[in-house]
Amino acid sequence: MDAETLVVDCKYGQARGYRDGATYVWKGIPYAGSTAGDGRFRSPEAPEPWNGVLDCARYGPIAPQSPDGPIAITPDMTPGEDCLSLNIWAPEPDGELRPVLVWIHGGAYVLGYSGQKIYDGRHLCETGDVVVVTVNYRLGALGFLDLSSLSTADCTFESNLGLRDQIAALEWVRDCITAFGGDPTDVTLFGESSGGGSVTTLLTVPRAEGLFHRAIAQSPPATSVYGSERAATVAERFLEILDVPRVAVATLRSLPYEQLVAAGETLVGEIPTRVPGTLAMAPVVDRDLVPKYPVAAFQKGLSHRVPLIIGSNRDEPSIFRFMNSPLMPVDATAVHAMLEALASDRPDLDPERLAEIVAAYPDLPKASGAMALSRDAAFRMPVLWVAEAHARHSPTWVYRFDHATPILKATRLGAAHATELPYVFGNFGTLGRDPTFWLGGRKGASEVAGRVQRRWLAFARHGVPAALDGSRHWPPYEPGDRLTLLIDGRDTVVADPDREMRQVWGDRVMGFT
């Protein structure tokens, strides 16, 4: 054994990690068994203990997903159903237990993987003297398509499999992270986009209570959680795409996963085109694992009593317009279709209120107005609904990420969806020919990144996003003053910066129960 490797004993066996700068990293540790065969469409099972020393030099297989999606799959990554693994960055164990940060990646519940270069945990680990964990979980048709309505006496399909995977990973952290120098009683769960939506959902899932002690939700689509009736309709359409009759539903367990991924990809294109503003696959209110719509659970005071940081980016939809993605409505036609679908789905909603919302966006015929309404419906208002409710019983901080480099401003992308990620992880230049600094701005971005990381790390260690470097104090969000941190070249704290928008939308306009 040399200084470049480190073998630790955990609950399931010995694992060999490798030095990475001032840290050690273990990649591809299984936190659950394979989900192929009998495990497909079922809750994850505990991993089998392994014999000998597990070599953790490579990331594990990634969740099956479209190879043609906007998140590039690098050549060293292999898809497979034995994908439930996690990665750990930790200082060399010295007997001291350190705070743990567990990352849930985004990707609209259908894309992404923990081994993306932007999620490399070394910088956070070294900067904060913390343990960083990143997690793979099932995606798309294998993870967030609820087929439970198709269950028969001989073939059971379980719901919310991706969420069940995330819970299993948190249980593994609870049981095993001490061996890697992490404190299982000091866990911060954080995620972005659908990863942030997973965080807000898990904050209301009874089974997840006690598995994490702080939470950070970055751009969470908190209202993109759907009912069981809609899920059953989507399940039927999935069978149609596959040309599988309902009497033969058991064959879904034996079909090559590539066929399921391809059918899921068809759904991903169809659903938001037919009903703009909705996702094809997402968490479902199954009245079992997820007993209530998360926003309604927050508003009823049912979220877990843990400190929370939550926020969104100023220009969320611009990246979807740039990519010509159907995931967000970014023109007037699509936005009006979204509102019509909302009115049809929720006949109890006041049509005058919906008209008032539309009237509050005078630029709506233009793309700028459509994107503003879409941004507020998908991200900004859900963030405020969650924050307003959670702050009644637990410390809550709200941010808005406004920073954009000169090239992002010039291309009108601005502070688009996911542009805060390199600032959180400290990993710039992970996108190949990364254009981020083509017109300069690296020094300013590095300063912003330093502040973001110090706040996130202070929160993980102390439960308060303190700025120990003289940056502007970040007071908690309370319904009275609604103080919000605007993150830019200079951090500022503003009282209720979106007051007019918030008043127009109201507290419960979406009508979730």
- Is 193 among the catalytic positions? yes
The token pair that represents 376 in the structure block: 């507020």
Residue 142: closest CA among 125, 121, 122, 158: 158
What are the structure tokens assigned to 478, written together? 């309370």
For 313, the enclosing helix (H) or strand (E) is strand 308-313
**Residue length, the chain?**
513
Q: Assign 134 to helix, strand or coil.
A: strand
What distance in Å separates the CA atoms of residue 347 and residue 16, rounded to the nearest whole number?
58
Catalytic residue among 114, 148, 193, 224: 193
Give the span between the Cα atoms of 229 and 227, in whole angstroms: 6
CA 258 to chain centre: 24
Question: Could you tell me whether strands 492-495 and 483-487 are parallel, antiparallel, or unpaired per DSSP bridges?
Answer: antiparallel
The answer to whether the beta carbons of residues 399 and 309 sit under 8 Å apart is yes
End-to-end CA distance of the chain: 57
Q: Which residues contact 98 (CB under 8 A, 6 or more apart)?
A: 90, 91, 129, 130, 131, 181, 182, 183, 186
**Rounded to 5°, angle at Cα 271 from 267 and 274:** 140
Helix (H, G, I), strand (E, B) or coil at 350: coil
Q: Which helix (H) or strand (E) holds 193?
A: none
Nearest to 32, CA basis, from 78, 80, 83: 83
Residue tagged active-site, from 192, 213, 417, 420? 417
Q: Which of 316, 390, 403, 420 is catalytic?
A: 316
Q: Which residues contact 220 (CB under 8 A, 6 or more apart)?
A: 191, 193, 196, 197, 199, 200, 310, 379, 382, 383, 386
Which of 180, 82, 85, 83 has the alpha carbon at shortest distance from 134? 85
Active site residue 316: yes
On the 0-12 / 13-18 / 19+ scale of CB atoms within 10 A, 347 is: exposed
Are 402 and 488 a contacting pair, CB within 8 Å? Answer: yes
User: Would you name the residues annotated as active-site residues?
Assistant: 193, 316, 417
